[in-house]
Amino acid sequence: MHPSAGLIEKLANEAPHWTPEEESNLRRPFDYLASSPGKNFRAELIQIFNSFYELPDHRIAIISKLVEILHTSSLLIDDIEDSSEWRRGLRAAHLVYGVPMTINTANYMYFYAMECLKELGNGCDDPSLSKLLIIFNEEMMDLHRGQGLDIYWRDCFMVPTETEYLNMVMNKTGGLFRLTVRLMEVFSPSFSGAKSLVPLSNLLGILYQIRDDFMNLQDAKMIENKGFADDVSEGKLSFPIIHGITHGSSNGNTLVWDILKQRTHDDALKKRLVCYLEDTSGSMEYTRRRVKDVGLLIKEKYLSSMQDRGYDSSALGKVVDRLCAI
């Protein structure tokens, strides 16, 4: 028998070796993006939600870590799928570390986040841990369904209806909000199954995404971080762009479609598109109104109900006001 056979047999009877250095190398694209923090909106929401669910600090810390890992990992994949060049003021990770490594790292971190469920469920019985895994899997599937529809519409030049768009957003953007709430409800001592905040988290996802679509086309901070009207360069069918295309179709004007299909980086062309949305189709004003409509719905239907049940909803009200200030 060759001398190396003994070594091979020894390796086969052990768990695969994995060193801290190898872990660090694998995580480089993730750590690179995580080193430039985002708006921490999800972490803020988790703290606010916990005023209703009353989880201990150690579980809130684990949920916050899990959600942030998923969010950062999804951005790594998004930037590849959208051919983005910038994220949070940095060169996109796949342009620094390469597409193959960035995809693998993002996928690895999805599973790393799943490992956090074991930490979250420490001390729980098997049925509770199974419930956590089911929730995680359902929301990750929804997230990818939403992202897949968004890409499908873009690449097949299909314009969704507003209702189709909102349903996509509930999957894509609402998924992490929903995941947060559903995990918290598993452990909440004050939650009995009634008055879930899942519908509210869906509305917050819709509000957040419509606002983000609006801001992408003209907000100075987003321009600094990602470039001017980055959604146009991606060919993205965002909320105001869908409205602008629909308006143009009914008036024989294909300007928005024509520019969007080019996925141009020409700022002059992108400014023509944004000017059309602002001055001709009224799409930017329509988006402003829809943001305020959703914000009003949240306040009148959900925040007032929370106050009636004895909860202080002022912090959440301030978040909604901030999102509506466009």
Assigned domain for 2 exists: no
Listing DSSP states for 144-205 in one string gives: HHHHHHHHHHHHTT----HHHHHHHHHHHTHHHHHHHHHHHHHH-TT--SSS-SHHHHHHHH
> Would you say residue 3 lies in a domain?
no
19 located within any domain: no
Residue 282 has pLDDT above 90, yes or no: yes
Residue 20 pLDDT > 70, yes or no?
A: yes
- Work out how many domains the chain is built from and give that number: 1
Is residue 299 one of the residues assigned to a domain?
A: yes
Is 124 or 181 the better-scoring residue by pLDDT? 181
Q: Look at residue 12 and tell me if it is in a domain.
A: no
Sign of CA dihedral 36, 39, 42, 43: positive
The whole-angstrom separation of Cα 16 and Cα 24 is: 17
Alpha-carbon span 208 to 122, nearest angstrom: 33
Q: What is the CATH number of the domain that holds 194?
A: 1.10.600.10
Residues 190-215 have a mean pLDDT of: 90
Domain housing 110: 25-30+38-324
The answer to whether residue 8 sits within a structural domain is no
Lowest-confidence region among 13-22, 73-82, 94-103, 109-118: 13-22
Specify whether the CB–CB gap between 69 and 119 falls below 8 A: no
For the residues 2-30, what does the mean pLDDT come to?
A: 86
227 occurs within a structural domain: yes
285 within domain boundaries: yes
C-alpha 282/C-alpha 278 separation (Å) is 5
Residue 4 contacts by C-beta under 8 Å, 6 or more apart in sequence? none
